[in-house]
Structure 1
């Protein structure tokens, strides 16, 4: 299906960056080179101290700069940009994207073409390749798992031989790059900032799906991702949010029977075993963040007793 030539929906590309000045050239330039005729690129400078503001203003005068006074973290930073795009500029779509990517020239046209097929398509993603191995797939969406609910990435570390060329509906997707329809924002708002980082897009998609929106995959939209270069693939920071937010996501959105099963799986596989490995290899920072993440979840649950108790009583 071709996009209606008489009206190209307005897209605003939001690139979030915190002290990521060195990464911006490739992401900005490759998005600017897209073949779609009606879009704007906006960089959200999320409280950076590395001269990002001055660099963007000097080198990319045609790019919108949105600057926060402090680091609002991942969810808060993007919410700042979503407010600009949807509330001030009245964009039809926003493309959420990381700063550590190289975009293909047909990303926007492909994502919009898929989204325009059905007004209930709220999110669209595409192929994410590893930057260092440009023919190897990192993700083409998530699959569902009977125990974990959200399984791993479809296509993870598989060479692309044309096996993911079908446009299809997904249960959920990552937000390394993710097109979002304005009506999703109107219905459920943006990211829930209690997640801050990790699981934030899953919570958003769950809430949107409850309102009838769908998640889709568009195979001709392609980016190459440097894979957690901003925070580190297995940094203590990421470990904390992995432990905390996987529990929090399921507490908020799954029923008692499921949660009781999952919490046992989680403690065994995401707390006890990793903690033992970390202590065995003297990785005390990781061990501390595992414990910290688990205690942070318990603390949140204690402060929100009414919600928490229904899963255990």
Structure 2
């Protein structure tokens, strides 16, 4: 496939959220740019009607896969069809402006920069920040922090600086870098894949940047839900998988002990005492169980097993 220099390929996934996806397309169409290629990967539907997408954006590329193959595999499918020099993977529950794009492209002109994310703000509270970077995950507790989360935006995060990880809702890289690093990892299916992917860039001596001059609005958790069994399972399982992949033997052992003696009992206690949270106990325990099986034999991992809790 011939890569088109200067073109930005915007890739998003629609999983039974058509109206949300169309809102995102409308935000892109309103930019009136001729350097964008827009790709929608529709997952999980038996049949795909492309007409609603085309009514909003007549040159949109729609790729259909009747199976729900997950966040990473869906984005990778879009990457396989993309012709742009720049690859911008964005959630379908985001809305874009020109400031969502141009500062990221400029940052990636530096060959030392591998992948970037913009400032992410909440759509329903447009002056409240969701993401202004991540700290690195603590190798012993598996925890990290989101910089700027829930702060009012007074331009205190308008700078450009290195971040521990980019944010999966909006991340841009280049085709050239992907040839070195590879596409998104497939073990996770949902959650933690962007942390693992960022780590792959770091292993290739490529930096991850937060670009505060760029902004995007995010309607958080439209696809999964803020407190869903699906999310509970994948967060529990994938945190352990991520730590196993990214830690040395000693730090992972300490994390493992911390996880099972502190994190799991604490979470179970909270789910027991909080009203209407008992339905999250089974996915939590199943996530831990499946993570243990991954540690024993990674090749037998079923990335999509958590869909049983949908």
TM-score, L = length of structure 1: 0.88
1:138-217 superposed matches below 5 A: 138-146=130-138, 147-148=140-141, 151-217=144-210
Q: Residue in 1 aligned with 2:307?
A: none
Cα deviations across residues 47-66 of structure 1 (Å, max 9, x unaligned)?
A: 33586534213443221111
1:52 and 1:43 mapped to 2: Cα distance? 12
SS at match of 1:75: helix
Aligned counterpart for 2:71 among listed residues 71, 74, 78? 74
CA drift at 1:149 = 5.3
Q: Residue in 2 aligned with 1:63?
A: 60
Is 2:28 the partner of 1:19?
Answer: no
Is 2:284 the partner of 1:290?
Answer: yes
SS at match of 2:98: coil
1:35 and 1:253 mapped to 2: Cα distance? 42
2:29 and 2:164 mapped to 1: Cα distance? 30
Cα deviations across residues 111-145 of structure 1 (Å, max 9, x unaligned)?
A: 101111x1121111111001111100000120125
Q: 1:141 touches 1:153 (CA, 8 Å); kept in 2? A: yes
CA 1:145–1:70 in structure 2 vs 1: closer, same or farther (change >3 Å)? closer
Q: 1:21 touches 1:50 (CA, 8 Å); kept in 2? A: no
SS at match of 1:56: helix
Q: Residue in 2 aligned with 1:120?
A: 112
CA 1:220–1:34 in structure 2 vs 1: closer, same or farther (change >3 Å)? farther
SS at match of 1:288: helix
Q: Residue in 1 aligned with 2:221?
A: 228
CA 1:33–1:57 in structure 2 vs 1: closer, same or farther (change >3 Å)? closer
SS at match of 1:187: helix
Q: Residue in 2 aligned with 1:302?
A: 296
Q: Residue in 2 aligned with 1:311?
A: none
Q: 2:162 touches 2:207 (CA, 8 Å); kept in 1? A: yes
Aligned counterpart for 2:31 among listed residues 14, 29, 34? 34
SS at match of 1:201: helix
2:203 and 2:290 mapped to 1: Cα distance? 27
Q: CA RMSD in A?
A: 2.0
Q: Residue in 2 aligned with 1:265?
A: 258
* Structure 2 unaligned regions, length at least 5: 300-310
2:259 and 2:31 mapped to 1: Cα distance? 42
Q: Residue in 2 aligned with 1:94?
A: 87
Q: 1:34 touches 1:108 (CA, 8 Å); kept in 2? A: no
1:170 and 1:149 mapped to 2: Cα distance? 17
Q: 1:30 touches 1:105 (CA, 8 Å); kept in 2? A: no
Q: 2:135 touches 2:163 (CA, 8 Å); kept in 1? A: yes
SS at match of 1:143: coil
SS at match of 2:267: helix
Aligned counterpart for 1:248 among listed residues 241, 251, 255? 241
* Structure 1 unaligned regions, length at least 5: 1-6, 306-313
Q: 2:31 touches 2:97 (CA, 8 Å); kept in 1? A: yes
